[in-house]
């Protein structure tokens, strides 16, 4: 797995400052500002850092939380879940299994059939639209 300390300069050249902040400094984009929050295009969402496929638009839903939300990952092994107790909260961070980039968090308040809500930063993903 590649980490930001392995090649920080390469990541800073590849990513925008906001993408770097979210993916490697565990930042969060402001709610309701991401380009995929209200996106309804069909396709596959990939990790912006390593291009690993992460989510299908078929599993995307409008949660009203201000970030793109998905009720399941494309494949179970594409995401790593890590306990996050920062900011006085108990949450579960979601990272890309392939490169370790921070994507967002997962919450147990999503729709059936999983009951999960993967709350993902738009700048951490890239939609490849189906033709």
The CA distance from 131 to 30, in Å, is 31
Q: Which of 23, 39, 65, 119 is catalytic?
A: 119
Q: Is 65 a catalytic residue?
A: no
Read off the pTM: 0.91
pLDDT per residue as tens digits for the range 97-130? 999 999 999 999 999 999 999 999 999 999 999 8
Instruction: Provide the b/e sequence for 30-42 (b: ≥16 CB within 10 Å).
Output: eeeebebbebeee
Domains of the chain with bracketed CATH: 8-129 (2.170.150.20)
pLDDT per residue as tens digits for the range 14-50? 999 999 999 999 999 999 999 999 999 999 999 999 9
Which among 114, 115, 75 has a CA at the least distance from the CA of 97? 75
In this structure, are residues 22 and 4 in contact, taking their beta carbons and an 8 Å threshold? no
The CA distance from 62 to 51, in Å, is 24
CB neighbour list of residue 113: distance below 8 Å, 6 or more residues apart: 71
Take residue 93 and report the two structure tokens written for it: 């961070």
The CA distance from 117 to 119, in Å, is 6
Does the annotation flag 96 for ligand binding? yes
Does the annotation flag 65 for ligand binding? no
Does the annotation flag 23 for ligand binding? no
pLDDT value at position 4? Answer: 55
CA dihedral 34, 128, 57, 105 (to 10 degrees): -50
User: What's the whole-number mean pLDDT along residues 65-80?
Assistant: 95
């Amino acid at each position: 797995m590649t980490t930001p300390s392995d090649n920080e300069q390469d990541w800073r050249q590849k990513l925008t400052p906001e993408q770097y902040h979210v993916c490697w400094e565990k930042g969060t984009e402001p709610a309701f500002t991401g380009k995929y929050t209200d996106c309804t295009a069909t396709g596959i969402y990939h990790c912006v850092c390593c291009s690993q496929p992460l989510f299908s638009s078929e599993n995307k839903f409008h949660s009203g939380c201000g970030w793109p939300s998905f009720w399941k990952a494309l494949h179970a092994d594409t995401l790593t879940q890590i306990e996050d107790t920062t900011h006085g909260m108990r949450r579960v961070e979601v990272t890309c299994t392939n490169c370790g980039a921070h994507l967002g968090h997962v919450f147990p308040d999503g729709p059936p059939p999983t009951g999960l809500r993967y709350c993902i930063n738009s700048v951490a993903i890239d939609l490849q639209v189906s033709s």
